[in-house]
Structure formats: structure tokens, C-alpha cells
Amino acid sequence: MVEESTDYRQFIWQELKERDEHEQQYHVMISSNQHLLKQVNHYRVLAASQKISGNAAHLEQQIQHLKEERADMYKVQSENAQRLVHMNDKLRTLEDLEAQQKKSLVDTLANNKKLADKSTSQTEQLREKDGAIQVLQDELSALQLEITTIEGKNHRLSKENHQLVQRWMEKMNQEADKMNEATEFYETALQRARSQQSPTNSSNRPGSVASTASSSSPSNKDQHKMRVTSIILPDRPYRTLANIHDGDIYCIQASRTGTYFATGSEDRRIKLFDRYSMTSTTLSGSLQSITSLDFNTTDDFLVATSTDYSTRVWNLGTRRLAHTLTGHIGKVFAARFIPADSSRVVTGSHDRTIKVWDLTKGWCTRTIFSFSSCNDLAVLDPDGHTLVSGHLDNTLRLWDTKSGNGIKDLQGLHRGQITSVAVSPDGGSVLTNSRDNTLKWIDIRMYEVLHTFQAPTYQNGINWSRASFSPDGCYVAAGGKDGSIHIWNTRNMQLERVLQGFHKSAVCGVAWHSMGSEMYTADMNAKTVCIWDTSIEKKTQSFVMK
């Protein structure tokens, strides 16, 4: 078995060897051929290298130089491309700027043309207005001359009218005396006739009747004179002035002598009315609304406050603006002349100050600082040493103008801001009006409230509504929110009369003629002034004539 396996292996090995010899018989030739090819290629390469070895260095230098040039060119090209982008952006920006400038130039040229046309038009208008102003100045000169003539005529007529009224009153007194004498004579004759019918009492009755008649005669005369000077409350106005202003009416005031009454309005104008002729004059010069008015004692000057923070004084003789007082930094709501010195004025403002002005110097001589805005003020003595002011914080304050110090603060009088302050005719008391719909009558010497006037129908509808005493001190009048006029009697403290249906909006103020013959009321939105006849003379005259 071992021999057989060995023979088998030898056989396989022999077969493999024969196969290898058969398959690799060309291997040597192929290897030799490949070796020869390698040598040929080697020699070829060597020959080629020897052939170009002379130019190789030069070519490499050129190649290196070209490479460097190519690198420089790439660098320059990159820089040029970047510069081109930058220049394109700059060109685009410049083109946009040029377009904007062209548009602006077109707009400027168009605006210049418009302004030139407007300038030409305004030049023409100015030329026309210069001509109109010249015409108006000529007309004004003629009107002023005519006004001077008319004023002289009115003054003479007023004087004559006053003389006629005095003569008429004297005649009425004489007639009344005659009527009293006739009545006395009639009663005496009647008593004598009765005494003759009853002789038993003839010794006593005639004497007693005569003594009674003689004692009653003087009292009748006194009663008649008292009626002539007393105030009779009216039922309706005897004259109504409608739409006298272009804006709302804010205030109304009567002069001290009774010659004028005036109204101030939102339209920045003052209407000055002559009581006798009922002609009106317009006083202008204010820049904003007129808030209060006051006359001096001789009616030579009128002072008015305004919401433009200033106070102005007009000369009523020339109807021209005499002074403009500036210094407040808030709306000025009250101004009063010092009664004994018309060259001094006191003003109250919402800037919480009260100022005393000297008109001869034209500046403020004293500033009094308060704790609240001043709605109204009044002068308590003729020399103006003591002032009383009503404020937004519901407080009534008294001031010493010499030192500028406060005398007394009356707090808690009202539950709403005080809208007006009025001094009684005797100077011993003050009337305040408030937004709490009450009026307080205050004894200024004892600092006590004498009475509170109020009514279910009375409502104060304006922050500057002015109430007032009648000249005889017997009545207190105030205007309401609904246009009504409430009048209280200071003797019995009762509501005496309510005048309704004549004003259509809130009443801003009530003013009395200095002699008590008329009462003036004004409403705000309806722009109406009502004049009420409160004098007994006309009623007495009409009764006697009947």
C-alpha cells in the first residue's frame, strides 16, 4: 500500500512537471524580450534626455517666468474685477444721486415758480391793501371828527335830558304835594261835615282829625321820595340786544356814573354802550377772549382782562388803548381800579398771583402770591389797602396790599370754586358766588356768614359767573345755568323773584346801574343782553300821566 501511494504521488508530480515545462517553455524568451524592451526604452529615454538636455534649463526658466507672469496676471485680473465691481457700485450710487438731484431741481424750480407767482400776487394784494388802508384812514379821520361832534352833541343832550328829568321830578313832587294837600283838604272838609252832624263831639273831633291829617302829610311826602329812590323789581326786560358779538359773551359791567355799560366777548372785542343814546363803540386790541371789565370812578378809563395773560386799559375819551399790562404767566380773570386813585389797578390771575399796577409808571408795584388760582377780586376800601379775592380752592382770602401779606383765609365757605366776589354798597360785607349753587353773604369785619342764598331752581353754570348787590343793598342778583335771573331780598332773606324765558343760555353776569334805575344781564352762548327797568320814576310818571 505504501508503495502504491508513493508511485501515485510520483506520477502526479511528474505530470505537473511536464505541464509546467510545456506551459513555461516561452517564459524565458518572454522575460528576455521584456528585458530587452526595458533596455531599449531606457536608452531611448536616455538619448532623448541627452538630446534636450541643452535646452532644458532655458525652458524651465521660461516656464517659471511664464508661471510668474500668469500669477501676476491672475492677481491683476482679480484686482481689476474687484475694482470693476466697486466702480459699478459707485456708478450706480452716482446715478441714483443724479436722479434725486434732477427730481429735486425740478421740484425746486416748480416751487420757485409758485413762490414767484405768490410773491407777485401778494405784492398786488399789498398794493391794493395800501390803497384800502389809505381810504380807511381818511374815512377814520372823518368818522373821528364826526364822532367828536356827535359826542359833544350827546353830552349836551345828556345834560339837557338830566335837567329835564330833574324838572320833571320836581314837577311830579309838586303834583304829589298838591294831591296830598287836596286829600288833606277833602278829609278835613269831610270830617267837619261829620262833626256838624254830631255836635256832641264837635269840640274834639275836628282838632283830632286836623292834627292827624297834618301829621300824615309829611309822611306821605317822605314815602313818595323814598319810592323815587327805591328799586322796583321788573317782570320783563324793556330792551333786548341780540347778537352784539361774534363770539360768546363772557362778562358785563356798568360804569360808576351810570353813563355806560360794556360787554366783553370771546371775539376779543369790547362793546361800549351809551345808556342814553344806546349807541355802541367797539374797543379792540386784545389778542384773546375778554374775561372781566371795570370802570374807574369818573368813567374816563376802562380796564379789561384777557386770556392772553395780559390786562389792557382804554381811554374812553379817545376810545384808544392807553396801557397794556403784561407780567402774569396765566389767564387773567379779574381786574379792578382803586376807587380813590384811577392810576392804580389790581389784577388776579390763574397763575396764583395778584398784582398791583401803577399806570403812571406802567409796571407792577407789588406781586402777592396765593395758594390757588384767582377767579375774582374786589377792593374793600377806597385807597385799595385791603383786597378780597375768591379762588379755585373754594377759599375767600383778604390781603394787605402794602405789605403783600394775607390778613385772613376763610376756608370751607363753599363746596365748589368761588366764581365772583362783590362788595356791598356800605362796604361792610361781601357776596360770593360759587359752583356749589349757593351765594354767601359774609360780614367782612366779623368773618361770619350772615346768610346763604340758594334756590332749587338756581344752578351756577359758569366758572366766572358774576353776582352782585343792588345799589341800595336791598337785593342780591345772580344768573343761572338755564338763563334765569334769581333775585333775593337781603331784608327778609327770601327769594324775591325769578326771571325766566328771556335768556336762552347760561347767564355770565348781572350788573346794576349806579343809581339803581336799570339792571343789565348777559348770557354767554346766545350773545344776548337784557336791560331791565328797576326804577320807580318811569312807573310813577306813567301812573301820574294816566
Q: What is the pLDDT of residue 422?
A: 97
Residue 108 DSSP SS3: helix
Give exposure, 168-183, as e/b (b: 16+ Cβ within 10 Å). eeeebeeebeeebeee
Average pLDDT, stretch 348-362? 94
Contact 476, 490 (CB under 8 A): yes
pLDDT at 377 over 80: yes
- Written as one letter, the residue type at 510 is V
pLDDT at 220 over 50: no
Average pLDDT, stretch 254-279? 94
* Edge-to-edge strand list for the sheet holding 406-410: 374-379, 386-391, 396-400, 406-410
Q: What is the pLDDT of residue 536?
A: 65
What's the rounded Cα separation, in Å, for the pair 269 and 284?
A: 5
Identify the structural domains of the chain with CATH numbers, from first to last. Answer: 138-197+204-228 (no CATH), 235-545 (2.130.10.10)
What's the rounded Cα separation, in Å, for the pair 471 and 515?
A: 7
What's the rounded Cα separation, in Å, for the pair 542 and 208?
A: 36
- C-alpha cell of 181? 294837600
Average pLDDT, stretch 53-76? 78
Query: How far from each other are the two terminal CA atoms of the chain, in whole angstroms?
Result: 192
Q: Residue 262: enclosing H or E segment and its boundaries?
A: strand 260-265
Judged by average pLDDT, the poorest of 201-205, 304-308, 407-411 is 201-205
Residue pointed to by grid coordinates 508661471? 67
| Residue 141 pLDDT grade (very low, low, confident, very high; cuts 50, 70, 90) | confident
Judged on CB neighbours under 10 Å (0-12, 13-18, 19+), 110 is: exposed
User: How many Cα atoms occupy the beta-carbon half-sphere of 162 within 13 Å?
Assistant: 10
pLDDT at 115 over 60: yes
- C-alpha cell of 358? 401803577
Contact 272, 262 (CB under 8 A): yes
Give the chain's mean pLDDT. 85
Q: What is the pLDDT of residue 328?
A: 95
pLDDT at 212 over 70: no
For 538: left if phi > 0, alpha if psi spans -120 to 50, otherwise beta; the answer is alpha
Judged by average pLDDT, the poorest of 66-70, 345-349, 483-487 is 66-70
Torsion of CA 435, 439, 441, 442, to 10 degrees: -10
What's the rounded Cα separation, in Å, for the pair 540 and 546?
A: 10
Q: What is the pLDDT of residue 545?
A: 36
* Edge-to-edge strand list for the sheet holding 310-315: 290-295, 301-306, 310-315, 320-326
Judged by average pLDDT, the poorest of 2-11, 93-102, 338-347, 369-378 is 2-11
Average pLDDT, stretch 383-392? 95
- Written as one letter, the residue type at 159 is K
Q: What is the pLDDT of residue 55?
A: 65
Would you list the DSSP string of 196-253?
HH-GGGTTTHHHHHHHHHHHHHHHHHHHHHHHHHSB---SS-SEEEE--SSS-EEEEE
| Residue 216 pLDDT grade (very low, low, confident, very high; cuts 50, 70, 90) | very low
More confident residue, 507 or 136: 507
Judged by average pLDDT, the poorest of 85-89, 137-141, 285-289 is 137-141
Identity of the highest mean pLDDT range in 61-70, 168-177, 309-318: 309-318
What's the rounded Cα separation, in Å, for the pair 365 and 379?
A: 17
What residues contact residue 198 under an 8 Å CB cut-off, 6+ apart? 205
Q: What is the pLDDT of residue 25?
A: 64
pLDDT at 226 over 60: no
| Residue 418 pLDDT grade (very low, low, confident, very high; cuts 50, 70, 90) | very high
Q: What is the pLDDT of residue 225?
A: 36
What residues contact residue 321 under an 8 Å CB cut-off, 6+ apart? 283, 285, 312, 313, 314, 315
Q: What is the pLDDT of residue 187?
A: 72
Q: What is the pLDDT of residue 227?
A: 38
| Residue 1 pLDDT grade (very low, low, confident, very high; cuts 50, 70, 90) | low
Q: What percentage of the chain exceeds 70 in pLDDT?
A: 88
Torsion of CA 276, 280, 284, 289, to 10 degrees: 90
Average pLDDT, stretch 74-91? 87
User: What's the pLDDT tens digit per position in 24-42?
Assistant: 666 767 777 777 788 778 7
Instruction: Report the DSSP pairing between strands 518-523 and 270-274.
Output: unpaired
| Residue 11 pLDDT grade (very low, low, confident, very high; cuts 50, 70, 90) | confident
Instruction: Report the DSSP pairing between strands 429-434 and 448-453.
Output: unpaired
User: What's the pLDDT tens digit per position in 123-140?
Assistant: 888 888 888 888 788 778
